[in-house]
Structure 1
Amino acid sequence: MKTIPVRHLKISQKEPNLSGDFMIKNLQELLNGKDMVHELHRHDFYFFLALKKGTGNHEIDFVNYDVTDHTIFIIRPGQVHELELKNNSEGFMIQFNTDFYYPIDKGMNLLLQKVSASNYYQLEEDLFSRINLLLISIFSEYKDKAEAYKEVIKSNLHILFIELLRSRNTNNKDSNTKDLYIQESLEKFLHLLETNITKVKQVSKYASMLNLSNYQLNTITKQTLGKTASEIINEQIILESKRYLLASSNQINQIAYYLGYEDVSYFIRFFKKHTGYSPEAFRKKLT
């Protein structure tokens, strides 16, 4: 089955020890006076775009964002996006595989997952300036490759993620331990959805993966998102359906089978119920 184009990190003969896992580029050098246009695609790695200055448009999982100054975009593996970046943009582009950043401290392993739960950060100028210093240091380490440079890059990334997480939680200073547990459980659930949705669609199975009861999982999703776990699962199915409908020319039955539906007519009814369009009509409307 033809799928959405998937981009991989390229391995360079000049940098065999790192470039297959991590890459950072200066946007001014990358753009070289030209606009950047990336058509709809997905990655199998993390993609960060940090813009000191920026103009353009960025669509992530069919949500549009204006590219502006002091913004950071984070694309998780598997998400689809398309990008138009004007030639006057300044900043850095970072790409790395999931295995590259992996803290030893088990309690911090969720940091990247928490930060990347948000695709878009609009930062105050002073906070972006602090983060930009980290990016400049990472870029310098990547170019110079002094002793233990990979460890320095990872340490700087770690601080960068903490800064972003703090900015996201600025309005939640009074959160107690219970609230943090609920938010962490929600983020684990959403991560499981992204990686298992084509095979697992039952609330009970996701609850089991999280060592929760169905009631506990539904309580968490209702409290945080105002929706049942089943509604969240259905939204993820629709999102994955849209990804393939708009980024591939596959037949509807192929997409239905890929998403785990043997009954194509059921899939069509399901999609129409949640979007108001048949899969084919939705594709024609937006292509």
Structure 2
Amino acid sequence: MNSITIKEFYQDILGESCPDINQFLTDNIHKDVGHFNVFDISEIAKTCTSKTGVPYNKRTYYKISLISGQNRVEYADKTVVIDDCAVLFASPKIPYNYTHLRTDQSGHFCVFTKDFLPASKIGLELDNLPVFSPQSDFVYQISTEQYQKFEAVFLKMHEEIQSDYIYKYDLLRNYLMELIHFGQKLKPILPVENIKTAASRTTTLFIELLERQFPIENISQILKLKTPADFAGILGVHINHLNRVLKDTTGKTTGEIIGSRIFREAKILLTQTSWNVSEIAFTLGFEEVAHFSNFFKKYGNQSPQHFRELAIV
């Protein structure tokens, strides 16, 4: 699995025929505001070198896509088929791809770097926003009315980025936050008073530590935190306290949450890489392949090799 940079993104969009991709980025990446750009999907389809969709890779940039058309989106171990209208919130933490099921695609998307929306300007880290967290729904199928609401903001972005207004990037940042808030309204968010409880803070920190280890991108990347004791030690709490808190807030024990996340990553690696089973076992923290096989059978009722064979078929 590769990490696609903003430069490689433009190479795919503009093609190798672009006279000078480095000069293009130099002219368009503003070091004082980060990088932002907005595109019309139907126009990009005429020149984009990737005609069938977006390959399964990790990106180093963020992307919000408003899609009208039939597509299949794959992320983590989930697959969603989009029948008509959808909005997708992509972050560097979640590898994904989507495949066009029909050629008549329309909509808009914007790309931006983390520097464009720094914590100092929005009050918290970008990855802590619900739509960009690893627990988000990632892709939301929306109604025609909701599509029109999102599109109205994208049209303002298109107009503004072409303007000579000296503060246009401040205005574009506001439009971007408007899209994010629209997205967060698509699913209820827990009240602030609940989020601030000690139990919720512990749960949030635990999930952040767990998710920070993923995705596994190469065979030298080995899972470091893999037991309840590992996490309790980092969080500075007793293992029984951590287990009780997670059971109260999520309904699952510490071991169940860790095991479920490792199992999900194992399925991704078995289907999205050519690594052998022993290499996958090693990166996920199993010293013996047999231990990994027993673990996988416990969660998936089949061996890793059998799962891979069925997935390929």
Q: TM-score, normalised by structure 2?
A: 0.75
Amino acid at match of 1:44: T
Counterparts of 2:243 and 2:126, CA distance in 1: 22
What are the ranges of 5 or more consecutive residues in structure 1 without an aligned counterpart? Answer: none
Amino acid at match of 2:208: H
1:285 match: secondary structure: helix
CA apart distance, 1:106: 6.9
1:14-93 counterparts in 2 under 5 A? 14-16=24-26, 17-18=28-29, 21-32=35-46, 36-51=52-67, 53-85=68-100, 86-93=102-109
1:165-180 counterparts in 2 under 5 A? 165-169=184-188, 175=191, 177-178=193-194
CA apart distance, 1:27: 0.8
Structure 1 stretches (4+) deviating beyond 6 angstroms? none
1:47 match: secondary structure: strand
Q: Once structures 1 and 2 are overlaid, which stretch shifts more, 78-87 or 203-212?
A: 203-212
Inter-CA distance 183–76: structure 2 relative to 1 (3 Å threshold): farther
Cα deviation 1:222-248 (Å, max 9, x = unaligned): 345422232111111112222222122
Cα deviation 1:79-109 (Å, max 9, x = unaligned): 2323112322221223333333213157433
Amino acid at match of 2:294: R
Counterparts of 1:254 and 1:188, CA distance in 2: 29
1:158 match: secondary structure: helix
CA apart distance, 1:260: 2.6
2:305 match: secondary structure: helix
| Aligned partners of 1:113 and 1:187 also within 8 Å | no
Q: TM-score, normalised by structure 1?
A: 0.81
Aligned to 1:194: 211
Inter-CA distance 207–142: structure 2 relative to 1 (3 Å threshold): farther
1:121 match: secondary structure: strand
CA apart distance, 1:286: 0.4
Point out the structure with max Rg over C-alpha: 2
2:6 match: secondary structure: coil
Counterparts of 1:159 and 1:27, CA distance in 2: 20
Inter-CA distance 37–259: structure 2 relative to 1 (3 Å threshold): same
1:40 match: secondary structure: strand
Instruction: Give yes or no for the alignment of 1:147 onto 2:144.
Output: no
Amino acid at match of 2:42: Q
Aligned to 2:2: 5
Counterparts of 2:29 and 2:122, CA distance in 1: 24
Counterparts of 1:249 and 1:144, CA distance in 2: 47
CA apart distance, 1:249: 1.1
Q: Which protein, 1 or 2, shows the higher relative CO under an 8 Å CA cutoff with sep ≥ 6?
A: 1
Instruction: Give yes or no for the alignment of 1:280 onto 2:305.
Output: yes
Aligned to 2:247: 222
CA apart distance, 1:186: 4.4
Cα deviation 1:175-221 (Å, max 9, x = unaligned): 46125646666455433322125221233443565566545544554
1:239 match: secondary structure: helix
Q: What is the aligned-residue RMSD (CA, Å)?
A: 3.1
Aligned to 1:130: 149
Counterparts of 1:188 and 1:110, CA distance in 2: 16
Inter-CA distance 33–279: structure 2 relative to 1 (3 Å threshold): same
Counterparts of 2:202 and 2:164, CA distance in 1: 38
Amino acid at match of 1:30: I
What are the ranges of 5 or more consecutive residues in structure 2 without an aligned counterpart? Answer: 11-20, 215-222
Counterparts of 1:210 and 1:142, CA distance in 2: 44
Q: Once structures 1 and 2 are overlaid, which stretch shifts more, 180-189 or 19-28?
A: 180-189
| Aligned partners of 1:9 and 1:21 also within 8 Å | no
| Aligned partners of 2:66 and 2:150 also within 8 Å | no
Aligned to 2:17: none
Inter-CA distance 254–221: structure 2 relative to 1 (3 Å threshold): same
Identical-residue share of aligned pairs (%) = 22
CA apart distance, 1:157: 1.4
1:231 match: secondary structure: helix
| Aligned partners of 1:50 and 1:70 also within 8 Å | yes
Inter-CA distance 83–7: structure 2 relative to 1 (3 Å threshold): same
Counterparts of 2:200 and 2:181, CA distance in 1: 16
Figure out how many residues of one structure are paired with residues of the other and give that number.
280
